């Protein structure tokens, strides 16, 4: 099978998950206790006005009819109106999504860049100081409450050392202007436009949130890298390669690491789930203007339409990321392709 | 090494005393192998003590405000300092242990029981039941889990009970899938066939023969899961869900203390956050230790 066909097949395979997600978000909002009509009508409403609101919102129809119109609206890109911002939820989310994506991508890059070398170092020198360091880092990092670590970093780097900028958003708008929107990623946009001072400004704002989010993702990646590389290094083909007199480098990079790559790629699926969740907490701490902070505000103000849109968007994003992990794992290990 | 019990005498029938002796030795071996497990055990006892006796042992009333002693740094009178309302942070951290651990333990217990029961049923019967079960678990896992938990609390209403429920739901797939897989490989084994031949019904075979055999691995799963459940519940209250002020709870205390970072009152968020971190650390280590004793093959 060629890659495009596999990709298409996996994409089709994601459809049941997507449908499940739509059903769950619908059920969460409609089949549960609490009456949205009372909420929408406000505290001063009487029975009549509540009934009016209910009819207006279509809440007096059967659950199935409501579901169908919900799906229909969604197909037209209508996720409803946010109660708090008064804007269509989709527009709100799309406007804030690049900020969240940029932060998440930076965090994952940081985590992979630290965790993989750490895991490799630990596995090639099993029992050494580096190995112990790796294992203790992994154990400690797995216990980090992201939001607490984020606050600690802010305290140390902003309050004590005065190196980091104030933890408020993506760019200090007193000194900087947002770069011309191209991708919505400030770092990329600023680099494309050649505005290097803005680039530095955005980078310094992003460093702390990305690191605190990345620390959280570091533990599983380092642990799996170490474990799977150890397995590969102990295997017959590595022994054979060594016996044939290949260089250490060749044995490690070409033989062992290539074979150890698959579990590492697969664990990324789980890491994405953690990071997308923890993103919410980090955005809350750093005043990051992304979808997570938007959702927290919406949850606190019982703006369920907005929360629903957010959950739907995150689940879709997560399914797409898992698809990416699938394709990466095919690239990492051709044997996966055979299983179809 | 301590003298070893004469095994040859105990071997033929392995009386209960010898068996528990052997498992005690396994525990001692695991502790000697990994000193950290011992540290975790001590920490666990401390946490448990706080959870049980926190209200009695706390030096101050965790809710008592004192406007004359606002935002005091740690002193001998207030070891962890005081918060913006002059409440003693040490007392609040101690009392909070009960709520934080309680939420996590109840959530894990719910998902453990329901997940194991459903997963075992699906793995044993197979067919449609199994397919539906698999689909439902897949759907839960299709969400970033913390986001799903947020959505559940937002929909069900903002209460501690709903935090527990949400945490239980997002943990369900871990137990469900695990139990399903473990039951599925065992359902046609000889001892299960024998039990079936003996005229036992499905429920009896599952509860008396199969689930009993997978309980150790499930227990390892549960203890490894505890730390994550604590983080999840505390994360939800950090963003303002579930626990209401002035209730002492680590997540919400960190969140309240966060406003004083820029003025340098570090003790307001560091101590509750450190308590949270230690609790998670302790359960992760205990889980690792328990795995070494009960399920040594899964060590990584």
The verdict on residue A129 lying in a domain is: yes
Q: What is the helix, strand, coil percentage profile of chain B, to 5?
A: 75, 0, 25
What is the rounded average pLDDT of the residues A330-340?
71
**CB of B150 less than 8 A from some CB of A:** yes
Inter-chain CB pairs, A–B, below 8 Å: 160
Q: What are phi and psi of B86, to 5 degrees?
A: 80, 15
Instruction: Report CB contact under 8 Å: B238, A147.
Output: yes
Are B283 and B225 within 8 A, CB to CB?
no
Separation CA B294–CA B222 (nearest Å): 13
In whole angstroms, how far apart are CA A234 and each of A38, A155, A334, B33?
A: 65, 44, 21, 23
A218 or A5: which leads in pLDDT:
A218
pLDDT band at B112 (very low <50, low <70, confident <90, very high): very high
Hey, is A301 helix, strand or coil?
Answer: coil
Contacts of A29 in chain B (CB under 8 A): 155
Q: What percent of chain A has pLDDT over 70?
A: 94
| Residue from A277, A285, A237 nearest A257 by CA | A237
Contacts of B280 in chain A (CB under 8 A): 142-143, 145
A15, A108, A143, best to mutate vs chain B, most B CBs in 10 Å: A143
CA–CA min distance B61, chain A (Å): 25
- B296 DSSP 8-state letter: G
Separation CA A272–CA B114 (nearest Å): 26
Q: How far is CA B171 from the centre of its chain?
A: 11
Residues 82-101 of A with CB under 8 A from B: none
Tokens, residue A114: 């630290």
- Statement: residue B286 has pLDDT above 90: no
CA–CA min distance B234, chain A (Å): 9
Q: Could you give the domains of chain B?
A: 102-234+279-299 (1.10.3720.10)
Residues 247-276 of B with CB under 8 A from A: 251, 254-255, 257-258, 261-262, 264, 266, 269-270, 273-274, 276
In whole angstroms, how far apart are CA B247 and each of A281, B62, B237?
A: 21, 9, 11
What's the CA dihedral at A289, A292, A297, A299 to 10 degrees?
Answer: 170
The verdict on residue A319 lying in a domain is: yes
Rounded to 10°, the helix B35-57/B89-125 angle is 120
State the DSSP H helix or E strand holding residue B169, giving kind and residue range, or none if neither: helix B160-186
Least confident window among A20-29, A146-155, A329-338: A329-338
What is the rounded average pLDDT of the residues B60-81?
79
pLDDT band at B292 (very low <50, low <70, confident <90, very high): confident
Write the pLDDT tens digit of every residue in A255-300. 888 888 888 988 888 888 889 889 999 998 898 999 999 998 888 8
Instruction: Report CB contact under 8 Å: B264, A311.
Output: no
Which residues lie closer than 8 Å to A290 by C-beta, 6 or more apart?
A96, A97, A99, A100, A103, A279, A283
What is the rounded average pLDDT of the residues B209-227?
85
**CB of B148 less than 8 A from some CB of A:** yes
Predicted pLDDT of residue A33: 56
Nearest CB neighbour to A159, from listed B156, B261, B270? B261
pLDDT band at B21 (very low <50, low <70, confident <90, very high): low
State the total domains in chain A: 1
What is the rounded average pLDDT of the residues A198-213?
89
Separation CA B211–CA A191 (nearest Å): 59
Q: Which domain holds residue A154?
A: 89-332
Write the pLDDT tens digit of every residue in B155-205. 888 889 999 999 999 999 999 999 998 888 888 888 888 888 888 888 888
A233-237, A335-339, B35-39: range with highest mean pLDDT: A233-237
The verdict on residue A26 lying in a domain is: no
The 10 Å Cβ neighbour count of residue A240 is 12
Contacts of B243 in chain A (CB under 8 A): none
How high does pLDDT run on average in chain B? 83
Separation CA B120–CA B117 (nearest Å): 5
In whole angstroms, how far apart are CA A161 and each of A155, B152, B172?
A: 9, 40, 44
Q: What ranges in chain A are assigned the alpha helix state H?
A: 3-30, 36-41, 47-57, 63-75, 89-124, 129-142, 146-153, 186-193, 196-233, 236-243, 248-250, 258-286, 291-300, 304-332, 335-339
> Which chain B residue's Cα is nearest to A154?
B261
**CB of B124 less than 8 A from some CB of A:** no
Separation CA A5–CA B217 (nearest Å): 39
Predicted pLDDT of residue B296: 66
Predicted pLDDT of residue B13: 47
Q: What are phi and psi of A170, to 5 degrees?
A: -90, -25
Contacts of B151 in chain A (CB under 8 A): 25, 28, 307-308, 311
Instruction: Report CB contact under 8 Å: A148, B135.
Output: no
**CB of B56 less than 8 A from some CB of A:** no
What is the rounded average pLDDT of the residues B11-37?
63
The 10 Å Cβ neighbour count of residue B279 is 28
Give pTM, 2 decimals: 0.84
Residues 131-160 of A with CB under 8 A from B: 139-140, 142-148, 151-152, 154-155, 158-159
Are A252 and A225 within 8 A, CB to CB?
no
Instruction: Report CB contact under 8 Å: B258, A143.
Output: no
Q: What are phi and psi of B88, to 5 degrees?
A: -75, 120
pLDDT band at B297 (very low <50, low <70, confident <90, very high): low
The verdict on residue A84 lying in a domain is: no
SS (H, E, C) B111-138: HHHHHHHHHHHHHHHCHHHHHHHHHHHH
B298 or A134: which leads in pLDDT:
A134
Contacts of A314 in chain B (CB under 8 A): 143-144, 147
Beta bridge partners of B88: B82
Separation CA A217–CA A272 (nearest Å): 8
In whole angstroms, how far apart are CA B218 and each of A192, A229, B28, B126, B222?
A: 52, 27, 22, 20, 6
How high does pLDDT run on average in chain A? 84
End-to-end CA distance of chain A: 8
Nearest CB neighbour to B269, from listed A151, A298, A308? A151
Nearest CB neighbour to B150, from listed A20, A140, A295? A295
Contacts of A166 in chain B (CB under 8 A): 262
Separation CA B172–CA B182 (nearest Å): 15
End-to-end CA distance of chain B: 27
Tokens, residue A47: 């029975």
The verdict on residue A7 lying in a domain is: no
Tokens, residue A35: 């009456």
Write the pLDDT tens digit of every residue in B237-251. 998 888 888 888 999
Predicted pLDDT of residue B31: 67
| Residue from A89, A28, A68 nearest A294 by CA | A89
Write the pLDDT tens digit of every residue in B251-278. 999 998 888 888 888 888 899 999 999 9
**CB of B239 less than 8 A from some CB of A:** yes
Separation CA A209–CA A146 (nearest Å): 10
Predicted pLDDT of residue A339: 59
**CB of A215 less than 8 A from some CB of B:** no
> Which chain B residue's Cα is nearest to A155?
B261
In whole angstroms, how far apart are CA B83 and each of A307, B54, B69, B74, B77?
A: 32, 19, 9, 11, 14
What is the rounded average pLDDT of the residues B113-121?
92
The verdict on residue A215 lying in a domain is: yes
Separation CA B121–CA A182 (nearest Å): 53
Predicted pLDDT of residue B163: 92
Nearest CB neighbour to A151, from listed B153, B261, B284? B261
Predicted pLDDT of residue B18: 56
Nearest CB neighbour to B284, from listed A142, A285, A295? A142
- Statement: residue B8 has pLDDT above 50: no
In whole angstroms, how far apart are CA A49 and each of A41, A57, A178, A301?
A: 7, 12, 45, 22
Separation CA A74–CA A309 (nearest Å): 10
What is the rounded average pLDDT of the residues B36-65?
82
Separation CA A273–CA B117 (nearest Å): 26
Q: Would the ipTM clear 0.90, i.e. be above it?
A: no
Instruction: Report CB contact under 8 Å: B144, A273.
Output: yes
Least confident window among A117-121, A284-288, B221-225: B221-225
CATH number of the domain encompassing residue A193: 1.10.3720.10
Predicted pLDDT of residue A36: 63
The residue with tokens 């992304």 is A290
Predicted pLDDT of residue B166: 93
Nearest CB neighbour to A314, from listed B144, B235, B261? B144
Nearest CB neighbour to B142, from listed A34, A278, A319? A319
- The full DSSP string for B246-275 is TS--HHHHHHHHGGGTTTT-THHHHHHHHH
pLDDT band at B11 (very low <50, low <70, confident <90, very high): very low
The verdict on residue A15 lying in a domain is: no
Hey, is B175 helix, strand or coil?
Answer: helix
The verdict on residue A43 lying in a domain is: no
Tokens, residue B110: 């719910």
CA–CA min distance A237, chain B (Å): 21
């Amino acid at each position: 099978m060629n890659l495009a066909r596999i990709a298409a097949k996996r994409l089709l395979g994601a459809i049941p998950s997507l449908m499940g997600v739509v059903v769950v978000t619908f059920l969460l909002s409609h089949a549960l206790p609490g009456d949205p009509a009372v909420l929408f009508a406000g505290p001063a409403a009487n029975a009549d006005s509540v009934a009016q609101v209910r009819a207006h919102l279509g809440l007096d129809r059967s659950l199935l009819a409501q579901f169908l119109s919900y799906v229909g609206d969604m197909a037209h890109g209508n996720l409803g109106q946010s109660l708090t911002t008064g804007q269509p939820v989709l527009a709100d989310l799309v406007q804030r999504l690049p900020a969240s994506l940029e932060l998440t991508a930076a965090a994952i890059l940081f985590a992979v860049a630290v965790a993989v070398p750490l895991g490799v170092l630990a596995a090639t020198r099993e029992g050494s100081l580096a190995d112990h360091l790796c294992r203790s880092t992994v154990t400690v990092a797995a216990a980090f409450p992201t939001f607490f670590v984020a606050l600690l970093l802010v305290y140390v780097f902003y309050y004590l050392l005065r190196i980091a900028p104030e933890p408020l958003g993506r760019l200090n708008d007193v000194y900087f202007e947002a770069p011309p929107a191209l991708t919505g990623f400030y770092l990329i946009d600023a680099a494309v436009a050649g505005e290097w001072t803005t680039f530095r400004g955005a980078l310094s704002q992003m460093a702390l949130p990305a690191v605190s989010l990345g620390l959280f993702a570091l533990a599983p990646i380092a642990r799996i890298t170490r474990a799977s590389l150890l397995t590969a290094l102990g295997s017959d083909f590595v022994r054979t390669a060594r016996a044939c007199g290949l260089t250490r480098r060749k044995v490690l990079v070409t033989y062992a690491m290539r074979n150890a790559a698959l579990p590492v790629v697969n664990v990324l699926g789980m890491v994405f789930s953690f990071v997308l969740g923890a993103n919410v907490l980090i955005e809350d701490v750093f005043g990051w203007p992304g979808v997570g902070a938007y959702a927290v505000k919406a949850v606190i103000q019982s703006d369920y339409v907005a929360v629903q849109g957010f959950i739907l968007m995150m689940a879709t994003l997560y399914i797409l990321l898992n698809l990416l992990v699938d394709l990466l794992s095919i690239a990492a290990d051709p044997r996966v392709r055979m299983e179809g | 090494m301590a003298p070893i019990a004469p095994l040859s005498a105990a071997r033929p029938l392995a009386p209960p005393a010898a068996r528990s002796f052997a498992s005690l030795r396994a525990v001692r071996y695991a502790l000697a192998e990994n000193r950290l497990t011992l540290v975790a055990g001590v920490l666990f006892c401390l946490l448990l003590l706080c959870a049980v006796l926190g209200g009695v042992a706390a030096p101050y009333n965790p809710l008592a405000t004192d406007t004359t002693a606002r935002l005091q740094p740690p002193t001998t009178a207030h070891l962890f300092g005081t918060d913006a309302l002059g409440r003693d942070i040490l007392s609040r951290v101690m009392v909070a242990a009960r709520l934080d651990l309680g939420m996590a333990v109840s959530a894990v217990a719910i998902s453990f029981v329901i997940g194991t029961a459903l997963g075992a049923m699906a793995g044993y019967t197979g067919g449609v039941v199994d397919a539906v079960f698999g689909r439902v678990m897949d759907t839960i896992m299709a969400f970033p889990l913390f986001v799903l938990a947020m959505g559940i609390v937002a929909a069900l209403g903002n209460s501690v009970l709903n935090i527990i429920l949400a945490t239980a739901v997002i943990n369900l797939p871990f137990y469900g899938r695990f139990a399903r897989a473990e039951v599925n490989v065992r359902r046609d084994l000889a001892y299960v066939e024998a039990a079936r031949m003996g005229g036992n019904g499905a429920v009896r075979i599952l509860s008396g023969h199969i689930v009993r055999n997978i309980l150790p691995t499930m227990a390892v799963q549960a203890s490894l899961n505890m730390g994550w459940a604590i983080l999840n519940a505390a994360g939800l209250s950090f963003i303002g869900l579930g626990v209401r002020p002035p209730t002492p709870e680590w997540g919400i205390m960190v969140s309240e203390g966060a406003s004083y970072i820029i003025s340098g009152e570090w003790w307001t968020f560091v101590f509750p956050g450190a308590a949270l971190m230690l609790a998670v650390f302790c359960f992760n280590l205990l889980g690792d230790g328990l795995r070494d004793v009960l399920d040594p093959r899964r060590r990584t």
